[in-house]
Structure 1
């Protein structure tokens, strides 16, 4: 599941960079679309790394992961947060002035955000994914999973719609192996409507992927 979430982050970062490279100057409708997609991405990434600090790190510490490694992960989170803040400002500026200059600035911010985010995701997968696999049946890791699951129907539906939008077969299988099909259909089907209506169309069409 964690790698499927990481796949969604990588996918969206690529989408933004590609979209901003071809976004027509002065196209306010397209700028609004990208701003809508950005609001979702910003929320998902912020919620994810804050949740790791508050929920995942204590569980991992309890199963033997070193405090030094988790401190390094938090330092990477801080770097990501700074890049998020810069990108947030650039996207706000783009929504008010969809000029070629603002699009170029936003694209540059996204390139930096992608660099630091992918570095962190790669580091996390290399260091922590083996721990998740080895300790997945321990009480601590099971409790961690339950804690992450307590997000509410609205957030959960939007989350699953987002993770599965463009997911690879392996990523989709990772999600469905963790969440029963009927549960996923109800949560994602009902509470994922907002994502499918407002965000998924931003990426529709091969020219905008």
Structure 2
């Protein structure tokens, strides 16, 4: 099994959720207010996780990567892709609010179309980022700059950390799990996720229990 950075493992969680939303909206029954509320809850988490991730990359990861040799031009291109993702997130936000307010067929169709666009632009960015930066993360993982970057990302608070780890491990492949535990020891994950990830496991994970990601 090849090595995987935590960054790439996190990307796997974004891909899974995007597939889950599109699958769920493709089978949405008009008028199902309970399901619309469930999807709105899952959406609030996804929106927060993706926004926090790409804003954190700009503020924390890019300076560290520049310090170990990544060009300004490449990082600017990544930020431009983040802007495209942010625009798609904003459109999806509006569509999901509409579905929650009036869970009709037209609203579900509109939300699904927004998610398909969001998936297209997000996956294109994730693929580009992994192609360009995954080799850097692997080659430079023991440098002071990348280690400091990891510590900075870890300063999120226990509540956010618990929800994050419960989310990122929900449906993760063995390789993705290994990418996480290579940076955060399994006992630490168990404590943080066990105590502070209960909200995710109680409120969001069951939403996807009958909506498995595409493989």
Both proteins in one fold, TM over 0.5: yes
2:178 and 2:24 map into 1 onto residues whose CA distance is: 28
Change (3 A) 1:208 1:127: closer
Q: How far apart are 1:178 and its partner, in Å?
A: 1.4
Paired residues, what number?
Answer: 209
Q: What does residue range 16-55 of structure 1 map to in structure 2 within 5 Å?
A: 16-55=21-60
State the TM-score, normalizing by the size of structure 2: 0.95
Contact 1:19 1:208 in 2 (8 A): no
The answer to whether 1:199 aligns with 2:201 is: no
Q: Return the structure number with greater relative CO, CA threshold 8 A, min gap 6.
A: 2
2:166 and 2:149 map into 1 onto residues whose CA distance is: 22
Q: What does residue range 95-134 of structure 1 map to in structure 2 within 5 Å?
A: 95-134=100-139
Cα deviation per residue 1:76-118 (whole Å; 9 max; x = unaligned)?
A: 0000000000000000000000001000000000000000000
- Corresponding residue to 1:72 among 77, 87, 90: 77
Provide the residue aligned with 2:9 in structure 1.
4
- Corresponding residue to 1:87 among 67, 86, 92: 92
- Alignment gaps of 5+ in structure 2: 1-5
Change (3 A) 1:103 1:70: same
2:212 and 2:133 map into 1 onto residues whose CA distance is: 36
Q: How far apart are 1:208 and its partner, in Å?
A: 8.3
- Corresponding residue to 2:67 among 62, 86, 102: 62
Contact 1:37 1:202 in 2 (8 A): yes
- Alignment gaps of 5+ in structure 1: none
Q: How far apart are 1:206 and its partner, in Å?
A: 5.0
Q: How far apart are 1:180 and its partner, in Å?
A: 1.2
Q: Aligned Cα RMSD in Å?
A: 1.1
Structure number with the higher helix fraction is: 1
State the TM-score, normalizing by the size of structure 1: 0.98
Q: How far apart are 1:174 and its partner, in Å?
A: 1.3
